[in-house]
Structure 1
Amino acid sequence: MEPEVTKQTGPDRFELTVDGTTAGFAQFVDHDGSRVFYHTEVFPEFGGQGLAGVMVKEALGATREEGLRIVPVCPYVKKYVTKHEEWTDHVDRPTREMLHAIPKDS
């Protein structure tokens, strides 16, 4: 069982698959040089395996490689960047404009 994380569009999210099955996702919106992570979910049948951490680490790495700042709104992503200090220099607090950029149907 090797998890794979890929960036998807429509909706914008990083998708986690395990053996070809979607196991979860981390939704984001890009806004003014920043990537705002607003919802992370791992489906119950894949829970308890550390997969959310794998997915978020990959998503944050891809975000940094794209030259975007990380803005954690999602509680899981907030907790992750707090526990993993290597992300501190890449994280910003959300502004009102960033929060308004989050799709309303989320």
Structure 2
Amino acid sequence: MTQELTDNTGEPVTVGRESADPISAFTVNLPGAPRVGRAEFIDSADADRERIFFHTEVDEHYAGRGLAGILLREALADSIRSGHTVVPVCPLFARHLKKHGDEFISEGGAWRTPTRADVALVSRLAHVDS
């Protein structure tokens, strides 16, 4: 999955997905620059098909270009395409879904509020992966 888009300055950006076990990420890249942002997530291994987004960051050197929003929108669009229910542990995803959750659902998405068990899972797996 690679999407070519443009940022707020009109410059091209590429959003891709890095799949790994247990932590995967959507990434945003600029031509000629290293990866400048990522939204990390865990896909559930069970039949629930849940995707827990827990950390998003963009290099502060590229602030104001809308890269975090691009990353978020593409991650949510991919979650709709793949049939995953989004669990927003990441504050960026949580704020977005609190404000635009009805729109996300009308586009075919599904999301739920994270539980303590979700946060514990992220803590355990993120600690193991570091």
- Of 3, 7, 15 in structure 2, the residue corresponding to residue 5 of structure 1 is 15
RMSD: 1.7
1:14 equivalent to 2:14? Answer no
Q: In the aligned structure 1, how far is the partner of 2:52 from the partner of 2:40?
A: 8
1:35 equivalent to 2:51? Answer yes
**Structure 2 length as normaliser, TM-score?**
0.73
Residue ranges of structure 2 left out of the alignment (5+ in a row): 1-10
1:24 alignment partner in structure 2 = 37
What is the CA-CA distance between 1:48 and the residue it aligns to? 1.1
Q: In the aligned structure 2, how far is the partner of 1:9 from the partner of 1:20?
A: 23
1:54 alignment partner in structure 2 = 70
Identity over aligned residues, as a percent? 33
What is the CA-CA distance between 1:94 and the residue it aligns to? 1.5
- The higher radius of gyration belongs to 2
- How many pairs align? 106
- Of 88, 103, 108 in structure 2, the residue corresponding to residue 72 of structure 1 is 88
Q: Please list every run of at least 4 consecutive aligned residues from structure 1 whose deviation after the TM superposition is greater than 4 angstroms.
A: none
Q: In the aligned structure 1, how far is the partner of 2:99 from the partner of 2:30?
A: 25
Give yes or no for contact 1:29–1:101 (8 Å, CA) kept in 2: no
- For CA contacts below 8 A with separation 6 or more, give which structure has more relative contact order: 1
